[in-house]
Amino acid sequence: MSLDMPRDMPGGALFTRDGDCFIPTDRARGPWSPDSLHGSPVAALVAFCIEQKLQETSARTSGGTGELRIARQTIDLFRPVPYGRLAVEVEPIRQGRRIAVFQSRLRCEGKLLTQATTLCLLADEQFGSVGADHTAEPPPPPSEGIANKIDRVGNRWVSYPGTLEMCHIVPPGSERAPVVWIRNDAPVLEETPLSPAVRAAGIADFVSPFANMQPGRSGYVNADITMHLHRPPVGEWHYLRVVSRGAADGVATAQAVLGDESGAYGASSAASLINL
């Protein structure tokens, strides 16, 4: 699947490595301030570090079939992540053959900024899918939607949303629940291929702005990102379909289905605060 879309958008990796730390590139910046990062690169970085830890674990383990994969990742964004030298600590909470749980902490200059919990489960093709299938068919392809490059009015800097290709089947901000295709080509590091779980993590955060978008502004800033994956996504184009949104007293929650050309592969959700 491909679209004849302009390719003048900034590309490349989200971070470079400096010893054990990560240095953001311009592409990782957020739309709110050039001095802080977008939530998606933060989520992608955490997923990347977890997968690195899983690879280390599997290298020390022999025998058995299947593999541990990220099934759920919850990130608490209790401070803005600055455009600075970032350290990620990954602590195993539980490491078994079928279940592994990791807690990650992201710091800059010693200050704790973000904390995440990642649940990994044993996946084996021989088990297949058991039970009823309630997932919906994928939406019309990107070629049938409205091509769009996010460009917040007034921004004078490169931000992560503006470097992605997006195609709206149902545009955000309308009375209908948004459905958006996103092409995420941003690896965490230039020398490391973009894995399926990291690709999904780089999209999951958009549940909040798409669900809460109002004319001229997004309206809310999310304080967390939760992603569930029941299978690895495939391909470059993925869709996010908002399925529910509620708000009261300045607090909003939203849920979305994540999928690719084959259908749904997971879900994402977020809790957000009104942006005053």
Contact 220, 226 (CB under 8 A): no
Tell me what pLDDT residue 150 has: 53
Tell me what pLDDT residue 130 has: 78
Tell me what pLDDT residue 10 has: 63
Look-up of token digits 């749904």: 264
Q: What is the pLDDT along the chain (276 residues), one digit of tens a residue?
A: 344 334 455 678 999 999 999 999 999 998 888 899 999 999 999 999 999 999 887 655 445 577 899 999 999 999 899 999 999 999 999 988 899 999 999 999 999 999 999 999 999 888 878 777 777 788 999 998 888 755 544 467 788 988 899 999 998 888 899 999 999 999 999 999 999 999 999 999 999 999 998 765 657 899 999 999 999 999 999 999 999 999 999 999 999 999 999 999 999 999 999 987
**DSSP 3-state assignment of 75?**
strand
Gyration radius of the chain over CA positions: 18
Tell me what pLDDT residue 217 has: 60
Number of C-beta neighbours around residue 192 at 10 A: 15
The string of DSSP codes covering 30-63 is -SS-TTBB-HHHHHHHHHHHHHHHHHHHHHH--S
Q: Which residues, other chains included, contact 84 with Cβ-Cβ below 8 Å and sequence gap of 6+?
A: 23, 24, 108, 109
Q: How many helices (H) and strands (E) does the chain have?
A: 3, 14
Tokens of 133: 């299938």
Shortest CA distance to 215 belongs to which of 244, 246, 174, 253? 174
73: left (phi over 0), alpha (psi -120 to 50) or beta: beta
What is the DSSP pairing of strand 146-148 with strand 165-170?
antiparallel
Domain spans in the chain, listed from the N-terminal domain onward: 15-125+137-274
Number of C-beta neighbours around residue 64 at 10 A: 11
Tell me what pLDDT residue 275 has: 80
CATH 3.10.129.10 is the classification of domain 15-125+137-274: no
